Amino acid sequence: NAGVTQTPKFQVLKTGQSMTLQCAQDMNHNSMYWYRQDPGMGLRLIYYSASEGTTDKGEVPNGYNVSRLNKREFSLRLESAAPSQTSVYFCASTGYGESPLHFGNGTRLTVT
């Protein structure tokens, strides 16, 4: 039981390049999330998917797109990376009702 798996762990991009962060969970969770974490800013929600087939914007969606490919997988795409998107990105998932988030190990992204 791997939980939430994120790839890649590290990535360096040049301004304007694109990339997709992958996330998969094996806990049969319905809801999945993408957060970014910057020093002193806590965890900020980029996008979430309440259930398969739905996606919604979070607090900081600009510059990102997401795809809920199936119940297991939720990807985050940066179409044209900017230095302001340098951050640590976490994927998370949760089941129904009042239950905690399970986080992946994170992706450390640097945009130069």
Partner 1 sequence: GENVEQHPSTLSVQEGDSAVIKCTYSDSASNYFPWYKQELGKRPQLIIDIRSNVGEKKDQRIAVTLNKTAKHFSLHITETQPEDSAVYFCAASRGGSYIPTFGRGTSLIVHP
By CB under 8 A, name the binding residues for partner 1.
Answer: 31, 40-43, 45, 48, 50, 58, 90, 97-98, 100-101, 103-106
Q: CB of 50: closest distance to partner 1 in angstroms?
A: 4
Q: CB of 98: closest distance to partner 1 in angstroms?
A: 4
Residue 14 or 98 with smaller CB distance to partner 1: 98
Residue 14 or 39 with smaller CB distance to partner 1: 39
Residue 17 or 58 with smaller CB distance to partner 1: 58
Q: Which residues pair with residue 25 across a beta bridge?
A: 4
For the chain, how long is the longest CA-to-CA vector?
41
Which regions of the chain does DSSP assign to beta strands (E)? 4-7, 10-13, 19-25, 31-38, 42-49, 56-57, 64-68, 74-78, 87-94, 102-103, 107-111
